[in-house]
Chain A
């Protein structure tokens, strides 16, 4: 994997050049945000639910090893095989070995961000396993060989025409179809035979319940249920942070999840998996992949509370105008920008800067992750770890010095006013002035406030600042 920092700004600029895609993307996600607001207004206890969800998650994370072992013990009693994966490579090996042991060549799977994290599909392909995504959006992304651009609606950056073009190539449908229902039907027709003849099924897991040794999968298309139950072998890949202690805790999260994500009261399917079906086998792979290390980060551990609803993406004005792919990472948007650097600090060092720190994300988050404060803290950490480009670092260093010297500062302001007022346009607006690429410069003034004050309030002029006592 390349360590080169992701150029979010350039990718975003490219995204912004395509007006129809930009408009659809912004409006579709904003609509999800508004539907989420509508659901919130119907529940007077919304803030209490958020508080409770946050509390449960923080409690669970503070005793993660105990609860994980409790889950393992109870899951085994339910006849579930439990595996532990330290990282992506170990996860892929475990899954590959299970499939090999069953001589399984065709795997159907529902959406799982963890398998994206582990880059599982290429690994299994090398082993001769055909992996078919059954979630519509995820399948579109698989056929187009792209990462999901959103954690809930993976192909939200695509228009119907894009999907028609992709399906025409792989499913030989009419590339001019513009009716989403026809495209969904094409996917059904293509997917059903694959599902019926699959050797193994894979799902993720939204919630894992320690006291019962069971797990819950929430979907809207029913594809996870088909993936889990049509073949006799079911493998669920789940991050270790998805635990809740008790069955009674689930209600809080189920009520928040879909309301926050899509603005619907509940997902179409909320399936509790309690053990293998008759004659079948069920495996749960619990994946760490950097989570334990993140749990040890004082400023960032609460990002593990995330229930992957995507509300922070839908509300983020930057995400809506740059698209998920511009983040160049498995996790995009505000939540991505605070967890991606834990996977690779250099590569994702630019992402905490892909934000205005406006704070909308933090306030829609159903588990109250202080996302924008973590973005702020990441910037400090990245600078301390020398992950800021040299030029920008130097500019800040010089600006900081200047701000400590009032006379030099006054001279600099005067120079700015003079240049803005006297330089010809072609000098002021060039590649050295990113401000002026899509914006006019501020207008110079005849008199700064400081000048005005000296002239008009001179007699009441206060004494100069006393020298600092060191």
Chain B
């Protein structure tokens, strides 16, 4: 199985450590991973803002980069959601369908495809609050959502609970959106930032030292809100903890 690694723009530019951890983790798990150098974006920002035709160039490049891989893995729920569910600015050829059907978010890839049952190298002696992005929670369904009253399950929690030393706290509103929302964070900046502050305070008051998430876009927003509001909480991508980061 040849894996193509997609690193979303904000991870590439602002959280390279999350990208490196993703790559190293997959390599530790014995996977054959390549990162096509000419990648940019999956097209989500254009798609989400309604400018779907403007997503065509990004989507075409994405397919050019990744069609040759058996599986495409990315440490981002919202990008996976875009590729899987909304990637239709370009004609739906066999190549495009192959890419869309074989794209995985990192957690679901580890949990459902590789079925990893141990991370012997991982130890994280901190108290964490888990932030499930809305993309992972309600689109990819990697965890149960409170709206449906379904039997509780959580793929990220399943993975994290295999890490030595880690302690969990649950905020009061674990499923509430943090307010990033792509261009929403700019066009509705006041509401967006308020949601972000409420989110980080909720985790902080629950006793979290770290907010851990599978989505760095939410983290980028939450971190900006926490720093401005002076909420002393740290952020880490789930790949970093699973790859053995100590802090």
Contacts and interface: CB of A to CB of B under 8 A. Distances in A.
Which 6 pairs of residues, A with B, have the shortest CB-CB distance?
A404-B57, A379-B50, A400-B54, A356-B181, A438-B193, A439-B224
Given A434-B189, A445-B13, 9 more contacts: A358-B138, A388-B49, A396-B49, A400-B54, A404-B56, A452-B20, A457-B35, A461-B37, A465-B38
B43 A379 contact: no
Interface string A358-397: 1110111000000000001011111100001000110011
A388 B228 contact: no
Contacts of B191: 9, 12-13, 16, 318, 321-322, 354
A317 B193 contact: no
Chain B, interface residues (CB within 8 Å), range: 35 or more
Contacts of B13: 413, 416-417, 442, 445, 448
Contacts of A402: 40
B86 A376 contact: yes
A363 B144 CA distance: 12
A409 B40 contact: yes
A406 B13 CA distance: 14
23 contacts: A9-B189, A16-B194, A317-B195, A355-B181, A356-B182, A358-B138, A358-B181, A360-B147, A363-B145, A392-B49, A396-B51, A403-B57, A403-B58, A403-B61, A404-B57, A405-B57, A409-B40, A416-B13, A438-B189, A438-B190, A448-B13, A449-B19, A452-B20
A440 B223 contact: yes
Interface of B: 7, 9-16, 19-20, 23, 34-41, 43, 45-46, 48-58, 60-61, 64-65, 68, 86, 134, 138-139, 145-149, 173, 175-177, 179-197, 220-221, 223-225, 227-228
B193 A439 contact: yes
Interface stretch (A39-47, A89-97, A198-206, A302-310): A39-47
A355 B10 CA distance: 21
Contacts of A457: 23, 35
A399 interface: yes
Contacts of B177: 317, 356, 358, 360
A440 B40 CA distance: 24
A10 to B, nearest CB: 9
A346 B130 CA distance: 40
B187 A445 contact: no
B80 to A, nearest CB: 15
A278 B225 CA distance: 64
A404 B40 contact: yes
Contacts of A441: 224
A47 B190 CA distance: 35
A465 B223 contact: no
Contacts of A380: 50, 52
B138 A359 contact: yes
A254 B188 CA distance: 37
Interface centre among A12, A41, A451, A462 (most CB of B within 10 A): A462
A437 interface: yes
A343 interface: no
A400 B51 contact: yes
Nearest to B65: A465
Interface string A161-174: 00000000000000
A353 B188 contact: yes
Interface centre among A354, A439, A443, A447 (most CB of B within 10 A): A439
Interface residues of A, number: 82
Nearest to A450: B12
B51 A317 contact: no
Contact of B11 (A12, A47, A378, A449): A449
B228 A360 contact: no
A468 B65 contact: no
B20 A449 contact: yes
A8 B188 CA distance: 8
A449 B50 contact: no
A272 B181 CA distance: 44
A357 interface: yes
B246 to A, nearest CB: 20
Contact of B16 (A30, A376, A397, A445): A445
A356 B184 contact: yes
B138 A437 contact: no
A413 B35 CA distance: 18
Contacts of A352: 50
B231 to A, nearest CB: 12
A199 to B, nearest CB: 45
A443 B219 CA distance: 12
A422 interface: no
Contacts of A399: 45-46, 54
Contacts of A353: 49, 183-184, 187-188
Contact of A462 (B11, B34, B228): B34
B187 A383 contact: no
Contacts of A451: 16
A305 B218 CA distance: 33
Contacts of B173: 30
A404 B60 contact: yes
A3 interface: no
Contact of A397 (B20, B54, B196): B54
A364 B13 CA distance: 36
A382 B12 contact: no
A354 B188 contact: yes
A454 B7 CA distance: 14
Contacts of B189: 9, 434-435, 437-439
A2 interface: no
A459 to B, nearest CB: 12
Contacts of B185: 435
